[in-house]
Amino acid sequence: MLQRKDALEWSVAFWMPRAVGLGLAMATAATMSGCGTVKQTGSARTATEQILLTNAWDDAIQKVDFEPLAGQPVYLDTANLNGQLDQGWIISSLRQSLLSQGAHLKPKPEEAEVIVEASVGAYGTDSYNWLVGVQQTTVPSTLTGIPTGTIPEIPLVKKSDQHAVAKLALFAYERKSGELIWRSGTKLATSNAKDVYIGAIGPIQSGTIRPQNKKIGINVPLISDPFPTTVTGSDPNTRPLKLTPVPASEAAKHDLPGSTMPLPPSAADLNDFKPDGQ
């Protein structure tokens, strides 16, 4: 019995200081805090806005045919573009388009035979939002006993749509005579970016500047935009589907009017939609 008592006293004497030390260490660790931070900055203009505008401008300038100025010594007059948003991109893209279509750019007007003057009629963004649900509401302090405060927004479906518009026009005249020799006409193009929230899901991102739908930056190829928006402008790679009228013999078999019912597209028709080289 005495041996057991001695063993118990020894165990208490051995483990007690160690348990107290471990407890103190854990308490100290719990009161200490450590953290790491990542510096994040935001530019004055969002990347989305910049891409919207420059994409719209690129689409507009691609509609300009500079071929009539091919081989001509040309000076590009950009006085009307001074102070324009994204001025560097606009002027550089104009020079590139002129050069790529055969014009000979000159650094000074006296060295050129043709002066090309550029102007921008519109270059900006606008947006709209709509909501199905409860909008954020502030309850004023008008009646005693009624709590005041702000009721948060509770959306069932919410959509935001941001558009960019670019409108440009150019014309050319002989430097010596001042005679008008070419004009581009007005070219207009748009681009857009959309964010859709459905309940707690979102944003589902789509639009002309995004190659495919995304959910919070993650590609979501199976989710299509439930609220499509038609954007003006023509796609040169898009061709209308060719439909073949039903022959009279086939129409008679199925009791169909032969001159009005189209057949499904044939394999040859579908081949027209394959990308070049495939």
pLDDT in tens, 13-44: 666 666 666 666 666 655 565 566 677 778 88
pLDDT at 231 over 70: no
Q: What DSSP state is assigned to residue 30? A: H
Is residue 173, in this structure, part of any structural domain at all? yes
pLDDT for 148 equals 75
Is residue 102, in this structure, part of any structural domain at all? yes
| 60 and 122 together in one domain | yes
| 56 and 188 together in one domain | yes
| 122 and 176 together in one domain | yes
Is residue 273, in this structure, part of any structural domain at all? no
Q: What DSSP state is assigned to residue 191? A: E
In the chain, the percentage of residues whose pLDDT exceeds 90 is 41
| 53 and 189 together in one domain | yes
| 180 and 102 together in one domain | yes
| 122 and 249 together in one domain | no
Is residue 227, in this structure, part of any structural domain at all? no
Separation CA 125–CA 164 (nearest Å) = 4
- The number of domains in the chain is 2
Q: Where are the alpha helices (DSSP H) in the chain?
A: 2-31, 47-61, 87-100, 248-254, 267-271
| 109 and 244 together in one domain | no
Separation CA 109–CA 115 (nearest Å) = 7
Q: How far is CA 143 from the centre of its chain?
A: 47
* Range of the structural domain that residue 91 is part of: 47-126+164-194
Is residue 153, in this structure, part of any structural domain at all? no
| 97 and 173 together in one domain | yes
Q: What DSSP state is assigned to residue 277? A: T
